[in-house]
């Protein structure tokens, strides 16, 4: 996290501090509390307790200061005595239970939560108590699981200060520490943090090589921390903030720097920052196309939520998305990380756990996600966060658990699970268009989007000159690929991995990558272009749409929704059986019926024209040259088509509007800071 002494304290404490003059001592303390200068508040109310140890007000504010600076373990005895006018008794009980849980007093925490559940008149607070009690039950189940993890304090690297958020890149371990800073951050009473690196072979660190990153990265008297790198190691994103100055960074923001000419460029803020929110704990996906981060921006599910943003080859970020309620809670979710084995890890104090931040892994099976606590010994009653795997079975993480050398310490771990086998599935494909001679040609610069079985966006990709795209997929799932580029109709293509998985027990390696293949062919967007709809059937002498035909027309509804700029003619054609007048009338009724079906599905009537052509436009012979009947030809002639009549301007989507706000670089990748 951006500052030591715990892991989410800066989010909870990173408020701007100003000088307070001309106030009574308590008013001054309350203003210090408002601006997050918790150490001064604690000092004031500790003096109050010397003369009045049972002051509910003093105990309350000391407890709140410890909680909001993420030292809730220290808050327990003060919540026990908290009270007085304006103090919410229900909140005191909830936070007392949290403090008891953080101190490993699970029986006491359960009793406190039962008192809250039975005594509160607020439905939301009762629901919270019930949820917390369920979490306590979950701990019993978790502790009964067999764990194959072995953990060890990285003593050679840790100091009496804070070391956290390890990241491994090209034989070097990067981490955050407050070890060499003599300036104190007022919110927590601990030194400001900087970024460091050291040479390492796996978990064997050469302590003699530890050194801070350049001053262009480590700004003096500013908290700097939590770093991530693109796969090639040439782009870094890190968090920086908490200057304590009103004109400085509002809270914490993400910065980007590139490695050029053997040096890191001057960091710039990236555009996913928001002026009045906190953004930190960035992590690139293994392919470097997605940046995950934590933020308290508006519209989330609680305190800190996890978000994702796409990054293109020129370093531009777009399509920021909340990762949803399966992962985010009313608590704090932070420190996202995706390992090479495709597992998504994060830390949370909102999911059932041991009391403070625990590390969780997201497992996906048959299209559903399950969030699992890694259990002990990885997790503890302290803050456990910032996991990083340098091999599928071993890595680093951070904890401020009892028995460490300092505040936050870096730990190493090994997973000895004998059945640890990981299979990564990837879907690769090529985007094509059709030549006039019906042969395929590669279609470059096409945006391809992968949707899951529920229709939710999983990832985007923009193809290069080779037309290739690549997505991470999962076994036994159904997907939809959407391709779109200028001058072509938006195209959807189904894909599924059902029946294509490999049993992990048959594999010998810890990590196996399996690549599946597909293709996506887009049609040119041209006026008067005609498309034949297959499997559109009507009863004899009938214009009623059969259920099977309705399913085919639903695909056309998708086409029209995906391409709102086109107006089409729905045409119906017959064979030559019957009179010309009869066939014209029948085909017109059928064309009108299809148009009415589309209108009922939400397509505006002004985008549709119904036209019956009868037998006037055959595409095959109704009879053979010798005069005998040609049933195959008649079947082809009995068809439904749509023709593009008009092409307007495609409306701009909401996320495309947002993309225009992102900073843009020139062809050499030089990015400019986006102004708030």
For the chain, report the end-to-end CA distance as a whole number of angstroms.
Answer: 24
DSSP track, 406-424: SSSEEEEEEE--TT--EEE
**Nearest C-alpha neighbor of 56 from the set 33, 78, 24, 38:** 78
On whether the CB atoms of residues 14 and 163 are closer than 8 A, the answer is no
**Nearest C-alpha neighbor of 563 from the set 481, 651, 625:** 651
What secondary structure, in 3-state letters, does 355-387 show? CCCEEEEEEEECCEEEEEECCCCCCCCCCEEEE
Domain boundaries, the chain: 9-143, 149-415, 422-524, 530-647
pLDDT computed for residue 336 by the predictor:
98
Stated as kind and residue range, the H or E segment containing 223 is strand 223-229
**What is the spatial distance between Cα 288 and Cα 506, in angstroms, rounded to a whole number?**
30
On whether the CB atoms of residues 392 and 123 are closer than 8 A, the answer is no
* β-bridge partners, 447: 462, 484
Task: Give the side-chain half-sphere CA count within 13 A for 674.
Answer: 21
pLDDT computed for residue 207 by the predictor:
94
Stated as kind and residue range, the H or E segment containing 33 is helix 25-34
Place of tokens 């005594």: 119
On whether the CB atoms of residues 355 and 381 are closer than 8 A, the answer is yes
Place of tokens 């994060």: 346
Question: Both tokens of residue 323?
Answer: 């990762």
Question: Both tokens of residue 328?
Answer: 């985010």
**What is the spatial distance between Cα 283 and Cα 257, in angstroms, rounded to a whole number?**
14
On whether the CB atoms of residues 327 and 306 are closer than 8 A, the answer is yes
**Nearest C-alpha neighbor of 197 from the set 215, 176, 217:** 176
Q: What separation in angstroms does the CA of 511 have from each of 230, 342, 396, 472?
A: 21, 10, 19, 15
Q: How many helices and strands in the chain, by DSSP H and E?
A: 12, 36
What single DSSP character describes residue 673?
A: P
Question: Cα 242 from chain centroid?
Answer: 25
Query: How open is the CA angle 276-35-85, to the nearest 5 degrees?
Result: 115
Task: Indicate the pairing of strand 172-177 with strand 163-169.
Answer: antiparallel
pLDDT computed for residue 187 by the predictor:
61
* β-bridge partners, 646: 567
Mean pLDDT in order along the chain per 10 residues (676 residues): 45 36 73 85 93 94 89 93 91 93 91 94 91 88 92 94 94 92 66 92 94 91 91 94 49 91 92 89 93 94 92 78 93 94 91 91 85 95 94 95 89 93 92 92 95 89 92 93 95 94 84 93 94 81 84 92 95 91 93 94 95 92 89 87 91 52 32 26
The residue count of the chain comes to 676
Residue 458 CB contacts under 8 Å (≥ 6 apart), including other chains: 450, 451, 452, 471, 479
pLDDT computed for residue 675 by the predictor:
21
Model pTM score: 0.79
**Nearest C-alpha neighbor of 75 from the set 274, 355, 445, 300:** 355
Query: How open is the CA angle 570-575-576, to the nearest 5 degrees?
Result: 130
DSSP track, 547-616: HHHHHHHHHHHHHHHH-TTEEEEEEEE--SSS-HHHHHHHHHHHHHHHHHHHHHTT--GGGEEEEEEETS
pLDDT computed for residue 416 by the predictor:
94
Task: Indicate the pairing of strand 263-264 with strand 279-284.
Answer: unpaired
CATH fold, domain 9-143, is 1.25.40
pLDDT computed for residue 102 by the predictor:
87
CATH 3.30.1330.60 for the 530-647 domain, yes or no: yes
**Nearest C-alpha neighbor of 282 from the set 386, 366, 194:** 386
On whether the CB atoms of residues 72 and 95 are closer than 8 A, the answer is yes
pLDDT computed for residue 227 by the predictor:
96
DSSP track, 439-493: -EEE--S-EEEEE-TTS-EEEEEE--TT-EEEEEE-TT-EEEEEEE-TTB--EEE
Stated as kind and residue range, the H or E segment containing 60 is helix 56-68
CATH of domain 422-524: 2.60.40.10
Give the number of other Cβ atoms within 10 Å of residue 295's Cβ.
27
CATH fold, domain 149-415, is Neuraminidase (2.120.10)
């Amino acid at each position: 996290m951006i500052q030591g002494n715990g892991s989410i304290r800066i989010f909870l404490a990173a408020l701007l501090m100003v000088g307070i003059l001309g106030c009574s001592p308590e008013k001054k303390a309350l203003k210090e509390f408002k601006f997050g200068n918790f150490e001064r508040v604690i000092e004031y109310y500790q003096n109050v307790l010397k003369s009045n140890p049972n002051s509910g007000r003093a105990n309350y504010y000391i407890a709140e200061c410890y909680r909001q600076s993420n030292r809730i373990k220290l808050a327990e005895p003060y919540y026990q005595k908290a009270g007085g006018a304006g103090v919410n008794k229900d909140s005191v009980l909830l936070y007392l239970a949290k403090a008891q849980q953080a101190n490993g007093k699970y029986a006491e925490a359960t009793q406190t939560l039962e008192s809250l559940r039975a005594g509160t008149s607020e439905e939301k607070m009762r629901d919270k108590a019930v949820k917390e009690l369920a979490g306590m039950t979950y701990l019993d189940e978790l502790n009964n699981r067999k764990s194959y993890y072995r953990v060890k304090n990285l003593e050679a690297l840790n100091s009496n200060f804070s070391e956290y958020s390890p990241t491994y890149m090209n034989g070097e371990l990067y981490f955050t520490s407050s070890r060499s800073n003599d300036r104190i951050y007022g919110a927590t009473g601990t030194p400001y943090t900087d970024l460091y690196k050291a040479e390492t072979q796996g978990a064997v660190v050469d302590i003699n090589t530890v050194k801070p990153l350049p001053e262009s990265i480590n700004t003096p008297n500013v908290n700097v921390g939590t770093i991530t790198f693109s796969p090639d190691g040439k782009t870094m994103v890190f968090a920086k903030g908490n200057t304590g100055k009103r004109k400085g960074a509002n809270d914490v923001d993400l910065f980007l720097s590139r490695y050029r000419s053997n040096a890191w460029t001057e960091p710039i803020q990236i555009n996913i920052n928001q002026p009045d929110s906190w953004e930190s704990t960035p992590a690139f996906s293994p392919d470097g196309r997605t940046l995950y981060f934590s933020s308290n921006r508006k519209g989330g599910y609680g305190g800190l939520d996890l978000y994702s943003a796409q990054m293109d080859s020129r370093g531009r970020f777009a399509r920021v998305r909340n990762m949803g309620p399966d992962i985010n809670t009313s608590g704090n979710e932070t420190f996202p990380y995706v390992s090479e084995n495709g597992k998504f890890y994060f830390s949370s104090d909102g999911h059932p756990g041991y009391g403070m931040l625990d590390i969780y892994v997201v497992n996906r099976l048959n299209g559903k996600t399950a969030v699992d606590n890694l259990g002990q010994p990885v997790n503890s009653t302290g803050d456990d966060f910032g996991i990083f795997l340098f091999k599928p079975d071993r890595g680093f993480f951070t904890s401020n658990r009892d028995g460490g050398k300092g505040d936050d310490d870096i730990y190493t771990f090994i997973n000895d699970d004998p059945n640890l086998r990981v299979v990564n599935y990837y879907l690769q494909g090529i985007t094509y268009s059709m030549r006039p001679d019906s042969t395929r040609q590669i279609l470059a610069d096409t945006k391809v989007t992968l949707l899951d079985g529920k229709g939710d966006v999983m990832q985007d990709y923009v193809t290069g000159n080779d037309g290739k795209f690549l997505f991470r997929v999962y076994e036994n799932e159904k997907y939809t690929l959407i391709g779109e580029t200028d001058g072509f109709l938006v195209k959807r293509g189904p894909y599924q991995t059902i029946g294509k998985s490999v049993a992990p027990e048959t594999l010998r390696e810890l990590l196996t990558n399996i690549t599946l293949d597909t293709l996506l062919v887009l049609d040119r967007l041209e006026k008067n272009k005609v498309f034949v709809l297959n499997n559109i059937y009507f009863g004899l002498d009938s214009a009623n749409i059969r259920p099977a035909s309705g399913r085919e027309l639903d695909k056309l509804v998708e086409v029209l929704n995906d391409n709102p700029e086109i107006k089409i003619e729905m045409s119906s054609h017959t064979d030559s059986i019957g009179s010309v007048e009869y066939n014209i009338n029948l085909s017109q009724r059928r064309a009108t019926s299809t148009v009415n079906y589309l209108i009922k599905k939400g397509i505006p009537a002004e985008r549709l024209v119904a036209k019956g052509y009868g037998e006037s436009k055959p595409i095959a012979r109704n009879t053979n040259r010798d005069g005998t009947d040609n049933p195959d030809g008649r079947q082809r002639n009995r068809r439904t088509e749509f023709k593009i009549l008009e092409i307007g301007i495609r409306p701009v989507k909401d996320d495309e509007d947002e993309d225009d706000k992102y900073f843009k670089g020139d062809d050499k990748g030089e990015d400019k800071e986006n102004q708030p």
